[in-house]
């Protein structure tokens, strides 16, 4: 069955690549945001990401041991954060740990910085060791659709230093694949260019079989064929394409 997605609809999604070469093209409205956790009303995420973060925290009984530090940021907030960091920490530090305004995943509402619960928490670099409940969170995150976005040794690709506290929601099958491959979101988006409706990437995750492919996005939008009886989601990649994820297909 032929499915059509308008250009405006195709600007958003959980796989949008946001970095210094790919500024954000669409921002969430207030109705699309929700508290990252029920008891943190000032830290917001897009609703699907918030629901999955809450489920992840519940699975680990992590309340009171892990705290959300920073979620969605308005563009003006990112501008102020960047300027304040340059003033207080210098340009080199800021370029390592703070994204340029318009190029921050936090503006998308899909990124969350988490920290180990302590009396004092650094807003820019919260402590999140690879031990205890923090290590358990990191290991379980892909099952709930989150990836460690800025792994150690990947700055030449992401242009951001290692941030063990920064997690990005991309969705379950994608998070499982990215983590298993040990790649970055940049590398995954580039890899998906090779997968077409005729030759999709086939994955098994979360007890389901998934098919993933990319179609070109034009000013009129994009179209693709989805077999009857299957469910599908689409996401812009912010690189001129639309990523289609199918499951439940015959």
The set of catalytic residues is 163
> Cα separation of 240 and 214, whole Å?
10
Whether residue 128 contacts residue 114, with contact meaning beta carbons closer than 8 Å, is answered with: yes
Edge-to-edge strand ranges of the sheet holding 201-205? 201-205, 208-216, 241-247, 231-236
The Cα–Cα gap between 65 and 139 comes to 16
For residues 180 and 171, what is the distance between their CA atoms, to the nearest angstrom? 14
As given in the structure block, the two tokens for residue 54 are 């809450």
CB pairs under 8 A, 24+ apart, for 212-215?
Answer: 212/173, 212/174, 212/243, 212/244, 212/245, 212/246, 213/243, 213/244, 214/241, 214/242, 214/243, 214/244, 215/241, 215/242, 215/244
Q: Evaluate whether 70 touches 106 at the Cβ level (below 8 Å).
A: yes
- DSSP class of residue 101? T
Whole-number Å distance between alpha carbons of 26 and 39: 28
- Dihedral-angle region of residue 92 (phi above 0 means left; psi in -120 to 50 means alpha; beta otherwise): alpha
Backbone angles phi, psi at 132, to 5 degrees: 55, -140
């Amino acid at each position: 069955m032929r499915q059509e997605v308008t250009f405006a609809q195709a600007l958003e999604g959980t796989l949008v690549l946001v970095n210094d070469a790919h500024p954000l093209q669409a921002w969430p409205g207030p109705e699309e945001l929700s508290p990252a956790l029920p008891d943190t009303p000032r830290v917001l995420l897009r609703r699907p990401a918030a629901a999955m973060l809450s489920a992840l925290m519940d699975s680990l009984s992590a309340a009171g041991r892990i705290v959300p530090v920073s979620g969605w940021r308005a563009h003006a907030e990112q501008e102020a954060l960047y300027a304040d960091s340059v003033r207080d920490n210098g340009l080199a530090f800021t370029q390592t740990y703070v994204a340029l305004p318009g190029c921050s995943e936090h503006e998308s509402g899909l990124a969350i910085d988490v920290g180990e619960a302590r009396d004092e928490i650094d807003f820019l670099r919260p402590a999140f060791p690879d031990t205890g409940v923090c290590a358990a969170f990191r290991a379980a995150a892909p099952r709930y659709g989150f990836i460690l976005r800025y792994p150690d040794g990947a700055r030449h690709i992401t242009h951001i230093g290692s941030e063990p506290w920064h997690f990005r929601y991309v969705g379950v099958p994608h998070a499982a694949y990215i983590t298993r491959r040990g790649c970055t979101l940049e590398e995954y988006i580039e890899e998906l260019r090779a997968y077409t409706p005729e030759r999709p990437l086939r994955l098994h995750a979360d007890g389901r079989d998934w098919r993933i492919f990319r179609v070109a996005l034009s000013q009129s939008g994009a179209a693709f064929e989805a077999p009857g009886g299957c469910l599908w989601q689409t996401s812009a990649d912010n690189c001129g394409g639309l990523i289609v994820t199918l499951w439940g297909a015959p």
